[in-house]
Amino acid sequence: MPRSNRPRRGGRPRPTSGAPGGGAGPERPLGGGLRRVEDHPDGEWVVQVVTGGGAERSYRCPGCDQLVPGSSPHVVAWPADGLLGAEAALADRRHWHRPCWDRRAVRRPR
């Protein structure tokens, strides 16, 4: 019998919204990736791995100042403390190439 692609009643709960602090636990699925909090020398960061998809928008990587195509796998990160509130922290998110984020993570503050 062929598989049905229609959702069933009582299926899995929907992922949490994009606001920081939502959901339960340090990792929450959202948009094809897992969201987690990472501790770095300059504080805690909310990090989400984006698997890439059909997105047409490109972003500027703060690590290398080159374009990150929205359709390629990359990392989205923003400060976890949200001193000005959750919406301001979410608005401060940046899209990084994975290698650029990994290099940034091992740097020590001067």
Residue 4 lies in a domain: no
- Pinpoint the alpha helices (H) of the chain: 86-91, 98-106
Residue 62 lies in a domain: yes
Q: What's the number of domains the chain is made of?
A: 1
**Rg, Å, the chain Cα set:** 16
Residue 83 lies in a domain: yes
DSSP three-state, residue 99: helix
The model's pTM: 0.62
Query: Residue 64: is its pLDDT beyond 70?
Result: yes
Question: Mind listing the pLDDT tens digit for each residue in 24-50?
Answer: 334 444 444 578 888 888 888 889 988
Residue 63 lies in a domain: yes
Report the pLDDT value the prediction gives residue 60, as an integer from 0 to 100. 94
Residue 43 lies in a domain: yes
Residue span of the structural domain in which 34 resides: 28-106
Residue 1 lies in a domain: no
Residue 15 lies in a domain: no
Query: Residue 16: is its pLDDT beyond 70?
Result: no
Residue 46 lies in a domain: yes
